């Protein structure tokens, strides 16, 4: 009781200068990152005549752009396309990356190391260099302008395989051996025992893959020719080339396209942070 006797007001919270600097930097960083987003949202609420009026809060906010965009069959088509592509590629990555990663981590076979190095070495090749061979391949197999054409290069990734391999290496062999004795076959051991043990890595992989494909622009632009197969980013960019640049439409579409990303971030923040820490890269 004695210790609490000093009058309030005399106790100044001690703030270290380092703290103030950190907060200031974070604040500036936050402003830099949030401003374009705010501007996108604000432009989406303006009509075409106000687009170049740079006020953040529109003079006469309107939802017309949203009504128009959502009523536009093309936009919903692109939204569906993006969803199909991102979901299928994500599922495929979660399945194949972890299957291959598990095999590389837990089985000893001749050539294992060579396979691993080969997979890893593809990480060193920039996407821009791969686009040409992908295109040639797609064109020879007749995959240009098809869902499969958009998806095939990303169905399995070296990064995902590497990530999952590292994780499966952390799964104690005892679990797998116990399952072997219990009578599970190798595939079931992977699916029922090993997979649930690496859920954090799986969710990180799934989130990265989904976001990467949801926002992918370059390859879908190259491989698609008809507007029905555009993904959202490609479709939105077409607003900029047709007659004139329709900024309010682009911003409205972009705002809608950001929603899933935002929702994912909000709900899966914990996993994303953990995923970034686990993966040690990306972000």
Counting residues that bind another protein (by CB under 8 A) gives: 15
Question: Of the two residues 189 and 250, which places its CB atom closer to another protein in the complex?
Answer: 189
Q: Which stretch binds another protein (CB under 8 A): 47-55, 108-116, 176-184, 237-245?
A: 176-184
106 lines the binding site for another protein (CB under 8 A): no
Question: Of the two residues 59 and 174, which places its CB atom closer to another protein in the complex?
Answer: 174
Q: Which stretch binds another protein (CB under 8 A): 9-17, 82-90, 191-199, 215-223?
A: 191-199
Helices 17-44 and 247-279, packing angle to 10 deg: 140
User: Do you know the residue count of the chain?
Assistant: 283
Produce one character per residue of 167-202: b if its CB has 16 or more CB atoms within 10 Å, e if not. bbeebeeeebeebeeeebeeeebbbebbbebbeebb
Produce one character per residue of 143-155: b if its CB has 16 or more CB atoms within 10 Å, e if not. beebeebbbbbbe
Q: How far apart are the first and last CA of the chain?
A: 50
Question: Of the two residues 67 and 178, which places its CB atom closer to another protein in the complex?
Answer: 178
> Least distance (Å) from another protein to the CB of residue 177?
5
> Least distance (Å) from another protein to the CB of residue 204?
17
Per CB under 8 A, the list member of 87, 156, 197, 222 interacting with another protein is 197
- Cβ atoms within 10 Å, residue 220: 22
Restricting to residues 218-277, which ones interact with another protein according to CB under 8 A? none
- 123, 162 in Cβ contact below 8 A? yes
Residues 6 or more apart in contact with residue 114 via CB below 8 angstroms: none
Per CB under 8 A, the list member of 183, 187, 243, 244 interacting with another protein is 183
27 lines the binding site for another protein (CB under 8 A): no
Per CB under 8 A, the list member of 4, 181, 266, 281 interacting with another protein is 181
174 lines the binding site for another protein (CB under 8 A): yes
Residue showing tokens 């972000």: 283
Question: Of the two residues 70 and 171, which places its CB atom closer to another protein in the complex?
Answer: 171
Contact residues for another protein, defined by CB under 8 A: 172, 174-175, 177-184, 193, 196-197, 199
């Amino acid at each position: 009781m004695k210790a609490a006797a000093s009058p309030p007001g005399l106790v100044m919270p001690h703030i270290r200068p380092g703290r103030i600097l950190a907060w200031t930097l974070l604040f500036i960083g936050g402003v830099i990152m949030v401003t374009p987003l705010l501007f996108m949202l604000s432009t989406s609420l303006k009509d075409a005549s106000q687009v170049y009026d740079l006020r953040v809060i529109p003079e006469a906010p309107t939802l017309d752009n949203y009504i128009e965009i959502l009523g536009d069959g093309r936009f919903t088509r692109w939204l569906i396309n993006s969803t199909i592509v991102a979901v299928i590629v994500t599922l495929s990555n979660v399945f194949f990356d972890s299957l291959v990663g598990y095999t590389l981590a837990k089985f000893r076979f001749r050539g294992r190391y060579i396979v691993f190095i080969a997979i890893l070495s593809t990480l060193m090749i920039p996407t821009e260099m791969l686009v040409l061979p992908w295109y040639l391949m797609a064109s020879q197999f007749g995959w240009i302008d098809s869902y499969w054409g958009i998806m095939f290069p990303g169905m399995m990734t070296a990064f995902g395989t590497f990530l999952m391999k590292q994780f499966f290496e952390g799964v104690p062999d005892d679990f797998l051996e116990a399952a072997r004795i219990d009578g599970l076959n190798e595939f079931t051991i992977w699916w029922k025992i090993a997979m649930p043990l690496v859920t954090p890595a799986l969710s990180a992989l799934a989130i990265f893959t989904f976001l990467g494909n949801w926002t992918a622009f370059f390859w879908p632009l190259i491989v698609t020719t008809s507007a029905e197969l555009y993904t959202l980013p490609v479709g939105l960019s077409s607003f900029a080339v047709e007659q004139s640049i329709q900024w309010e439409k682009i911003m409205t579409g972009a705002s809608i396209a950001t929603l899933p990303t935002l929702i994912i971030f909000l709900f899966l923040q914990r996993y994303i942070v953990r995923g970034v820490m686990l993966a040690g890269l990306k972000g």
